[in-house]
Structure 1
């Protein structure tokens, strides 16, 4: 058995890693163009070779044994080194090509990611980039997505590899005409008397969480507009329908134009993390690496530029209007 498997040891390692990343023998088989039985046999032969159980198998889920966890960790390192060596010899690292599937949350992507697409495609004309937008936690493996950018206060434990690109937050704002007609709230609790325009986002609490750096206020707003994309809520705010709590990148341009103004400028949401997600460190090909590097180069700088506006516009801590 050992002699027969030596010739296909890397193949068996790859199968095991794919099973762990995909969560099932069937999904791993689809990715490797093998049957479920073939994948199962590769893993079983690997266990026989090692004389150790690597996976706990049930009808509902798979789980690594303690031995399996260490073996998979080492296998990833070995497979990455082999792939890197082959790429270096073949010169593939200078020739990104093929289909690249990327995903991003809708409005964040419109502002920060979509403008990078022409730059990337011009640099790598042999890459066919497929871009999709979604507000929900992506299933990268099931969707065949190579890279996703996702925003969340608390990133779920999805098994994906996450790299933090930066942070943003949400701020309160409204049209001047709404505030002229309804008044300007002075404290978060006064928002209960106002029409609040709400963003339904699976990655952020449905309540409004507001912090001034010392106190956290949690509110349950009500109002005439509820949308699962920021653009709906933004248009409601621009139309004078109420007060909105929206990510800074959604409202920065309207604030600069004066079509929206800040409400309770000392208060904002807790930080929202901006994460770059990939299915695995293993089998990250050159076109994916180049896209990831471009995002890591451009997005933090763009977030910082927008953040400067809010830092400059933030009222001084000692500045108070006396009654």
Structure 2
């Protein structure tokens, strides 16, 4: 006899209280239920049930064995569900939180393309720049840029690296001149990002050393990247922005790339999800899609939407 089947019959007999009830629930004959129980007892060399014509009760060993059988059967069902999940089409709600601008410009097109491939997948996207508690807020996945704090309950995977570039409007450069070296940046006005605390410096990699930090003069301090790009386009100063955000403005000549020979600082883009024994297929597919597509979006000479997939 199959041991797992006999375990399942034993557990059902205990749960229902009699061989007859277990036989009815499992669509077996009463004698067949008895054969399964005896098979286990013979194999174990221990009695599992005390049986009389009126009632049955678990032996001390039978009670401990019953609890173990429940665990084994639950794990078996979970393993079979895992295989089924890997084979079936992803479906249901996928809740993702992401930074406002990176989400709109970069991540959302990738996830929309994934939804086109799997019509049963429902996307629920949240755009905000605050750090989100995945468990408390009920999100399946978070996308975050920059450095992260280590957390024991969260898995992180880098899916892209975004290049930071210095740019300015032609009108600004005509009036104030063009910086040719990093040292020249101190002579120029800049539009900088500031949300809370001090203004973060602009970073420029140095081989074998920490990044060079430059704090330019700033008359304008804004907490919105699109607004910084708009102000720079209006000629209000230099800006240090993600390449993907100003790519189209540079292509059309509204902004000019500066210091092209300087290496660009790279901010990591991470996908985060709660640590779990079984990662749902819809989450794994989303992370894989982001890791495959986002790096192509990070350069100056690439389009946000792959050919044929633009909405």
Question: Do these two structures clear the TM 0.5 threshold for a shared fold by scoring above it?
Answer: yes
Is residue 279 of structure 1 aligned with residue 284 of structure 2?
A: no
- 5+ residue gaps, structure 1, are 12-77, 310-323
Show the 5 A alignment for 1:170-181.
170-181=164-175
Residue 131 of structure 1 deviates from its aligned partner by: 0.4
Is residue 131 of structure 1 aligned with residue 125 of structure 2?
A: yes
Report the count of equivalent residues: 237
Show the 5 A alignment for 1:25-104.
83-88=78-83, 90=84, 93-104=87-98
8 Å contact 2:85–2:281 — kept in the other structure? no
The verdict on how the C-alpha distance between 1:301 and 1:186 changes in structure 2, with shifts beyond 3 A counting, is closer
* Counterpart among 151, 159, 164 of residue 158 in structure 2: 164
* Counterpart among 135, 148, 160 of residue 155 in structure 1: 148
Structure 1 counterpart SS, 2:123: strand
Could you tell me which residue of structure 2 aligns to residue 245 of structure 1? 240
Deviation by residue 1:186-212 (Cα, 9 ceiling, x = unmatched): 33233223211112378x981112236
Matches of 1:222 and 1:5, distance apart in 2? 70
8 Å contact 2:244–2:297 — kept in the other structure? no
8 Å contact 1:212–1:266 — kept in the other structure? no
8 Å contact 2:192–2:199 — kept in the other structure? no
Matches of 1:201 and 1:84, distance apart in 2? 47
Matches of 1:256 and 1:241, distance apart in 2? 20
Show the 5 A alignment for 1:239-318.
239-303=234-298, 306=299
- 5+ residue gaps, structure 2, are 1-62, 303-311
Structure number with greater Rg is 2
The verdict on how the C-alpha distance between 1:211 and 1:285 changes in structure 2, with shifts beyond 3 A counting, is closer
Residue 277 of structure 1 deviates from its aligned partner by: 1.1
8 Å contact 2:191–2:239 — kept in the other structure? yes
Deviation by residue 1:198-246 (Cα, 9 ceiling, x = unmatched): 12378x9811122365774212233132233311111111111100000
RMSD: 3.1
* Larger fraction in strand: 2
Is residue 6 of structure 1 aligned with residue 106 of structure 2?
A: no
